[in-house]
């Protein structure tokens, strides 16, 4: 392989550490309110280079290493109760309302990943992503009446070919707790798992949860307030029934119940979950879903005062050996983050909308009207933060200007044909590292988020084809996906209406 470095030099360790510190650029032109109980100092205004080095050799090595998942049950068990253990909750943890979980990308879980080819994994991820984006768009455009008070109405995009389900946590369900993988979804107001007796269930990696074996399982009565929150709720033998159908033909049907969930050493009692006896599609391998959306029936919404409506997550960067984290509680809110106000959309109350005012490449703001990103009075448009979408989608006009600006500053890199949803790709075979312009999000109120290079130029195969990881939106809705969020601490303070970026990296 030729060592085509010329101006593209391999990163030295000290330079790599230096660049890590600059992965997250947050500047504030006007101070924004902080939602934390103790006011923190606004992030300092810093001067950063307008170009970054992307270590091609290292990323390809990590990409190939990722094809050999190492996460297994033994590694995970130390973070959870043994299924047959009864352990009292940690009083300090319960008192503080703070608890933490490991967060894993699906490609790192051996039982979910049968492919050893990066291009196959990439193509499958893009197919799931297209389904996810289509489902989110349908939810917003379907109309206010359909989604108001729809506690169990989030679109779940399913399966290897029919959905996303990119990030997983492992929790205990019932008493004694039975360990289960569940998908985290910041766009859903639902918690559910497959349940015995299973009239129809898809394959999952763990035994299906049996409510008969749990001493804490309680069916929800038909006349209860909880049951009234479920749209189109039914009643069978005095118990509340739920049914959720999705646009791709997937569904989950079963009994609404109150159950104990175990997170590490913390037990959360009387959580309303769907116990699905008939399920089709959904997430291959996972037992169900942990909804983290903004509605009252999501996990965050149900906990309410116990966590102060707050959670923080760090999506681990692709190819690394470490895991990410998901942390609940007001104490998880960091000091020094840049806070951006959340925007509420009555037509999609589960979604976390943020105000985006512009985009930048190489330190230069692109001339795009702010109106392109605004949520209008009818609930159309706007910008959603979503953990289930991989690639950030932007309105076509904004995307085209963004892409053209990036390509104009990368004319020194050899081009490659478009791949999948990407139309700005590069042939970086043989390069050790390349110099690329920075990419920035300008948020309403002043904060600027500049992404690490590996969050916007990603490998699409294992031989050196890299693509600009953005795509045009099929509608006016913009979605900030999980590739762009990776490695950055994201904090959601739903009670006070803010989302924070940084200050930590992971």
**Domain map (residue ranges) of the chain:** 13-67+338-505, 80-111+161-328
Q: What is the pLDDT of residues 298-326, one digit of tens each?
A: 898 888 777 778 999 998 765 556 678 89
pLDDT bin (cut points 50, 70, 90) of residue 289 is confident
pLDDT at position 202: 87
pLDDT bin (cut points 50, 70, 90) of residue 406 is very high
Distance CA 450, CA 25 (A): 5
End-to-end Cα, the chain, rounded Å: 32
pLDDT at position 53: 93
- Least confident range from 131-135, 290-294, 365-369: namely 131-135
- List active site positions: 185, 386
Cis upstream peptide for 489 (omega within 30°)? no
- Architecture per CATH, domain 13-67+338-505, reads as Beta Barrel (2.40)
pLDDT at position 389: 87
CATH topology of domain 80-111+161-328: Cathepsin D, subunit A; domain 1 (2.40.70)
Task: Say whether 10 sits in a helix, a strand or coil.
Answer: coil
pLDDT at position 136: 72
pLDDT bin (cut points 50, 70, 90) of residue 108 is low
Q: Which range, 7-11, 29-33, 216-220, is most confident?
A: 216-220
Q: Quick check: 444 and 371 in contact, CB under 8 A?
A: no
Mean local confidence (pLDDT), 177-193: 88
Selection from 11, 29, 9, 120 nearest residue 357 by Cα: 29
pLDDT at position 97: 54
- Residues in a beta bridge with 488: 505
- Answer yes or no: is pLDDT of 501 > 70: yes
- Where does 191-307 have alpha helices with state H? 225-228, 299-303
- Residues in a beta bridge with 192: 274, 289
- C-alpha separations of 107 from 167, 170, 316, 386, 440 in Å: 9, 15, 12, 19, 27
Selection from 159, 424, 127 nearest residue 280 by Cα: 159
- Least confident range from 75-89, 181-195, 347-361: namely 75-89
Task: Say whether 205 sits in a helix, a strand or coil.
Answer: coil
Dihedral sign (CA 18, 24, 27, 28): negative
- Answer yes or no: is pLDDT of 164 > 80: no
pLDDT at position 130: 73
Pick 82 or 118 by higher pLDDT: 118
The DSSP 8-state label assigned to residue 195 in this structure reads: B
pLDDT at position 340: 95
Distance CA 93, CA 90 (A): 5
% residues pLDDT > 90 (the chain): 42
pLDDT bin (cut points 50, 70, 90) of residue 98 is low
Q: Cα 432 to the chain's mean position, in Å?
A: 30
Indicate the burial class of 47 (C-beta count within 10 angstroms; 0-12, 13-18, 19 or more).
exposed
pLDDT at position 153: 29
């Amino acid at each position: 392989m030729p060592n085509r470095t010329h101006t593209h030099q391999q990163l030295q360790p000290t330079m790599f550490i230096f660049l890590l510190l600059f992965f997250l650029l947050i500047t504030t032109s006007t101070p924004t309110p902080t939602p934390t109980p103790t006011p923190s100092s606004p992030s300092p205004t810093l001067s950063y280079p307008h170009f970054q080095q992307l270590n091609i050799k290292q990323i390809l090595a990590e990409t190939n290493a990722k094809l050999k998942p190492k996460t297994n049950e033994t590694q995970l068990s130390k973070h959870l109760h043994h299924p047959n253990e009864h352990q009292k909750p940690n009083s300090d943890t319960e008192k503080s309302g703070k608890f933490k979980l490991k967060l894993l990308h699906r490609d790192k879980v051996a039982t979910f990943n049968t492919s050893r080819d990066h291009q196959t994994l990439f193509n499958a991820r893009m197919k799931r992503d297209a389904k996810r984006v289509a489902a989110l768009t349908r939810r917003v455009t379907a109309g206010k009446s359909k989604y108001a008070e729809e506690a169990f109405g989030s679109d779940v995009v399913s399966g290897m070919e029919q959905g996303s389900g990119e990030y997983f946590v492992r929790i205990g369900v019932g008493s004694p707790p039975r360990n289960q993988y569940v998908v985290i979804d910041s766009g859903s107001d639902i918690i559910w798992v497959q349940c015995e007796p299973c009239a129809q269930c898809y394959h999952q990696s763990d035994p299906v949860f049996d409510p008969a074996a749990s001493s804490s399982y309680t069916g929800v009565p038909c006349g209860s307030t909880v049951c009234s929150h479920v749209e189109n709720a039914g009643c069978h033998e005095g118990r509340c029934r739920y049914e959720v159908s999705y646009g791709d033909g997937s569904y989950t049907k079963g009994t609404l119940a109150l159950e104990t969930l175990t997170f590490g050493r913390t037990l959360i009692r009387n959580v309303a979950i769907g116990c699905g006896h008939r399920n089709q599609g959904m997430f291959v391998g996972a037992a169900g879903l942990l909804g983290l959306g903004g509605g009252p029936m999501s996990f965050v919404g149900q906990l309410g005062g116990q966590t102060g409506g707050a959670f923080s997550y760090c999506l681990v960067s692709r190819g690394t050996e470490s895991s990410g984290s998901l942390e609940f509680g007001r104490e998880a809110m960091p000091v020094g983050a840049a806070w951006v106000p959340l925007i509420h959309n009555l037509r999609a109350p589960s979604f976390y909308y943020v105000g985006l005012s512009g985009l930048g490449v190489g330190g230069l703001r692109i001339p795009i009207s702010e109106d392109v990103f605004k949520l209008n009075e009818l609930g159309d448009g706007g910008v959603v933060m979503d953990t289930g979408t991989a690639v950030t989608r932007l309105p076509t006009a904004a995307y085209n200007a963004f892409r053209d600006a990036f390509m104009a500053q990368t004319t020194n890199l050899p081009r490659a044909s478009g791949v999948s949803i990407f139309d700005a790709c590069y042939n970086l075979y043989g390069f050790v590292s390349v110099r690329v312009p920075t990419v920035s999000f300008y948020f309403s109120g002043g904060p600027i988020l500049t992404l690490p290079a590996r969050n916007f130029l990603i490998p699409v195969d294992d031989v050196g084809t890299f693509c600009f990881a953005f795509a045009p939106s099929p509608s006016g809705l913009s979605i900030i996906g999980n590739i762009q969020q990776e490695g950055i601490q994201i904090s959601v303070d739903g009670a006070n209406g803010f989302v924070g970026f940084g200050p930590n990296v992971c």
